[in-house]
Copies of this chain bind each other. A is one copy, B any other.
Amino acid sequence: MCRWLAYSGTPILLEELLYKPRYSLIDQSMHSRLGVETTNGDGFGAGWYGESAPVLFRGVGPAWGDLNLRELARSVSSPLFFAHIRASTGTPVQQTNCHPFRYGQWLWQHNGSIRDFTLVKRDLVLAVDPELFPAISGSTDSEIMFYLALTFGLRSDPVAAVERMVGFVESIGQRHGVQHPIQMTVATTDGERIWAFRYSSEGNSRSLFFSTAVATLREMYPENENLHRLSDETRIVVSEPLGELVGAWQPVPESSYGIVRKGDDALGPFRPTTP
């Protein structure tokens, strides 16, 4: 299992979320409060958008001790970034297994697992579009989920594509006798919008939160200067709350998706479909 965050809004330094808050993501790499594992020390990654294609920085050591991550976090500012800390569920600790994964303009990160992955992996891999197949570079379930979602139309209709991906994984799992084939919180982005998903076959998904509207928070905390630096459209999605501001985080409902975008954000029910 893992922890992740996704940020969209006023450009900020990565360290504002990765290091500075109490219960920051880096703090969670050693002491997660809500994770299945308290330690998320099997690699990490960040992906951010600037002037061109998304930039990736991924490492195989624990995030808490990585000096390069600290340097970058205090110098890289971005209006949209992902960050992830990994607790391996069995696949090797190597850079190609670190999130976020990237394909073209898209990033993808995941917390959870495909259960009995070695049983179903071959069937899943075969279903990946042969054009996309050579781009798979690691060995995780999370990356296969990304390439299946791309195969099923992620770039044109993300919610439908992820619903198809999950439906497909569940159908393959069931064929192999797996009781609850998938457990996931996922974030994906094209650099403009962020889609977040919370779902598990057993209806008992890992935690996921989005930040309360900045306008509301400013009313609640008129003296908080940080909030005045952020645009109304700023939004954060996280595996577990950062910081200590009461009322700042809203749980994503079970079996839901959310969209962070210009204008109103959206929240809707997530319903896997058979492709």
Contacts and interface: CB of A to CB of B under 8 A. Distances in A.
Interface of A: 30-31, 38-39, 41-42, 50-52, 55-62, 65, 67-68, 71-72, 74-75, 88, 92-96, 118-119, 121-122, 125-126, 130, 133-134, 137-139
Counting chain B CB atoms within 10 Å of each CB, the highest count among A38, A68, A95, A126 belongs to A68
Contacts of A137: 92, 139
B133 A61 contact: no
Contacts of A39: 30-31, 38-39, 41
Nearest to A136: B139
A27 B113 CA distance: 22
A84 to B, nearest CB: 15
A47 to B, nearest CB: 9
A68 B65 contact: no
Contacts of A72: 55, 57, 72
A41 B62 contact: yes
A52 to B, nearest CB: 7
Copy total for this chain: 4
A191 B243 CA distance: 35
Contacts of A125: 125
A68 B71 CA distance: 13
A171 B60 CA distance: 38
B94 A65 contact: no
B65 A88 contact: yes
Contact of A75 (B52, B65, B68, B95): B52
A150 B129 CA distance: 27
A132 B67 CA distance: 21
